[in-house]
């Protein structure tokens, strides 16, 4: 009985998938070795095991510039003149590679360096020097997404970003002042208060019980009078001023119209203004 011969491989590419000849794509080969460390690197960092190549510059069929980088057998590209901010700054894999789970270049480098399969949920990979072209392992660090967004939000914006932000602010203010905007706010206010039940709270100033439907984290006083008294007693709104008569520094509530450190200085200043007495600095002992 003749032994059946295996079906010949129809692909001429040695890197194509073929179970008969044990051919595997670059992605499968890389993923298979992601957790394997060569014997001579045991106990050492993976900082020197794989680094991206130098970006190669070329043009697309439409004449637009494109930069490409190779990392672990995969090609990543970015397009400096692309309309999207992400495509301008970050090297991304091709569509087929993205469908197989390959992430952006700096994320792949960070995962390979730290020998993990994914980035923790709620974390971003950040470029320490803010240079998106510097994808060396030493320049990449994983930080919480909230910290990452606030960090970049505090950075100076470009002129184009600043102009777009100002246009958006003006358009938003115009819409909120329109009839449609006011109607939206009214409806939103009704929805926010609908279904709220009264509860009993204790005033932080006078310790009396009162009924309220307001949010618990924003309601601490039974009245505005108690709220103002508490702020005055706590010194939350205090500021330092200089007496207009004797030039002595004193502390007063910032909403007060006080100009002098004491009633005596205020009285002397009134007499000085009438010409009755000279200021203390001009008096002769």
Residue 27 — very low, low, confident or very high, per pLDDT cuts 50/70/90? very low
Mean pLDDT on 34-61? 59
Lowest pLDDT segment from 97-101, 195-199, 277-281: 277-281
Of 79, 80, 81, 55, the residue nearest 68 (C-alpha): 55
Calculate the alpha carbon distances from 44 to 88, 116, 117 in Å. 35, 15, 19
Q: Per residue in 240-265, is it b (16+ CB within 10 Å) or e — as a string?
A: ebebebbeeeeebeeeeeeebbeeeb
CB 110 within 8 A of CB 142: yes
In angstroms, rounded to a whole number, what is the distance separating the alpha carbons of residues 215 and 205?
18
Residue-level pLDDT at 123 = 92
Higher pLDDT, 180 or 130: 180
The residue ranking higher by pLDDT, 258 or 15, is 258
Mean pLDDT of the 151-177 span: 82
Q: Is the pLDDT of residue 49 over 80?
A: no
C-alpha 80/C-alpha 68 separation (Å) is 11
Mean pLDDT of 87-100: 91
* Mean pLDDT of the 11-32 span: 45
CA distance readout (Å), 187 to 171, 191, 194, 197, 214: 21, 6, 11, 19, 18
For the chain, the distance separating the N- and C-terminal CA atoms, rounded to the nearest angstrom, is 134
CA distances from 79 to 76, 88, 101, 225 (A): 11, 5, 21, 61
Residue 4 pLDDT exceeds 60: no
- pLDDT at position 43 is 37
Contacts of 163 (CB under 8 A, 6+ apart): none
Model confidence at 41, in pLDDT bands (50, 70, 90)? very low
**Helix (H) or strand (E) run with residue 212 in it:** strand 209-212
For residue 220, what pLDDT is reported?
Answer: 87
- 15-24, 104-113, 162-171: segment of lowest average pLDDT: 15-24
Per-residue pLDDT for 104 more than 90? Answer: yes
Whether the pLDDT of residue 37 is over 50: the answer is no
User: What global pTM score does this model have?
Assistant: 0.43
* Residues 68 and 75 sit within 8 Å (Cβ to Cβ): yes
Each domain of the chain, given as residue ranges in start order, spans: 56-119, 203-234, 238-282
């Amino acid at each position: 009985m003749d032994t059946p011969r295996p079906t010949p491989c129809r692909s001429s590419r040695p890197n194509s998938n073929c179970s008969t000849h044990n051919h595997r794509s670059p992605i499968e080969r890389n993923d298979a070795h992601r957790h394997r460390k060569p014997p001579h690197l045991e106990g050492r960092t993976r900082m020197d095991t794989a680094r991206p190549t130098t970006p190669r510059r070329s043009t697309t069929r439409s004449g637009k510039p494109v930069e490409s980088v190779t990392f672990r057998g995969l090609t990543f590209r970015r397009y400096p003149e692309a309309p999207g901010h992400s495509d301008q700054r970050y090297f991304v894999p091709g569509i087929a590679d993205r469908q197989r789970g390959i992430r952006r270049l700096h994320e792949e480098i960070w995962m390979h360096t730290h020998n993990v399969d994914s980035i923790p949920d709620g974390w971003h990979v950040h470029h320490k020097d803010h240079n998106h072209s510097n994808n060396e392992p030493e320049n990449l660090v994983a930080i919480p997404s909230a910290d990452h967004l606030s960090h970049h939000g505090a950075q100076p914006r470009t002129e184009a970003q600043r102009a777009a932000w100002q246009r958006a602010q003006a358009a938003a203010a115009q819409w909120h002042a329109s009839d449609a905007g006011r109607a939206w706010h009214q409806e939103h206010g009704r929805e926010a208060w609908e279904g709220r039940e009264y509860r009993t709270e204790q005033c932080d100033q006078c310790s009396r019980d009162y009924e309220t439907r307001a949010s618990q984290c924003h309601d601490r006083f039974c009245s505005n009078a108690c709220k103002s008294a508490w702020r005055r007693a706590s010194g939350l709104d205090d500021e330092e001023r200089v007496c207009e008569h004797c030039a002595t520094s004193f502390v007063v509530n910032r909403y007060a119209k006080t100009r002098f450190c004491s009633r005596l200085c205020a009285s002397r200043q009134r007499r000085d203004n009438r010409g009755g007495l000279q200021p203390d600095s001009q008096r002769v002992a």
